């Protein structure tokens, strides 16, 4: 079960993970870092998220597409020449919330670069 909430002006994405014997653990995104990419028409930034201050997911790309910004999750090229995500949210609402969080950090990074 996924649960989204805000705490002390820090936004967390919370994920309940079921362990053996019916126990649950909530996982929280505790940090988002965005590195701007200025020399590319479509790729605007690369983000990393930290989960529970213990697990980091790197190479989440912020892409400017025809219909606006979207996230490209970390992927690898297969033998067939296709790219397959190696890390990704399973539920659409989690992907959308993650997109909102990362794009908010992207906007902050743009604003601080302009100052």
User: Do 74 and 60 contact (CB within 8 A), yes or no?
Assistant: yes
Per-residue confidence (pLDDT) for residue 22, from 0 to 100: 61
Classified by CATH at the fold level, domain 32-114 comes out as Arylsulfatase, C-terminal domain (3.30.1120)
Q: Is the pLDDT of residue 2 over 60?
A: no
Q: How far from 57 is each of 34, 81, 113, CA to CA, in Å? A: 12, 23, 24
Provide, rounded to the nearest whole percent, the portion of the chain with pLDDT above 90.
Answer: 57
Per the model's pLDDT, the better-predicted residue between 32 and 11 turns out to be: 32
Res. 3 pLDDT band, cuts 50 70 90: very low
Encoding tokens for residue 38?
A: 């200025």
**pLDDT, mean over the chain:** 82
Least confident window among 21-25, 52-56, 95-99: 21-25
> Per residue in 69-86, pLDDT tens?
999 999 999 999 999 999
Q: Is the pLDDT of residue 48 over 90?
A: yes
* DSSP H or E stretch at residue 105: helix 92-114
Domain extents in the chain:
32-114
Q: Which of 90, 100, 99 is nearest to 16 (CA)?
A: 90
Report pTM. Answer: 0.75
Burial label, 15 (beta-carbon count in 10 A; 0-12, 13-18, 19+): buried
């Amino acid at each position: 079960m996924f649960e989204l909430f805000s705490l002390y002006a820090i936004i967390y994405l919370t994920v309940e993970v079921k362990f053996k014997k019916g126990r649950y653990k909530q996982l929280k995104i505790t940090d988002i870092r965005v590195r701007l990419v200025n020399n590319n028409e479509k790729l605007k930034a690369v983000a990393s998220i930290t989960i529970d201050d213990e697990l980091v997911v790197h190479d989440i790309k912020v892409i400017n597409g025809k219909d606006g910004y979207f996230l490209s999750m970390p992927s690898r090229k297969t033998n067939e020449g296709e790219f397959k995500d190696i890390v990704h949210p399973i539920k659409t609402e989690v992907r959308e919330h993650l997109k909102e969080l990362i794009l908010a950090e992207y906007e902050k990074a743009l604003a601080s670069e302009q100052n």
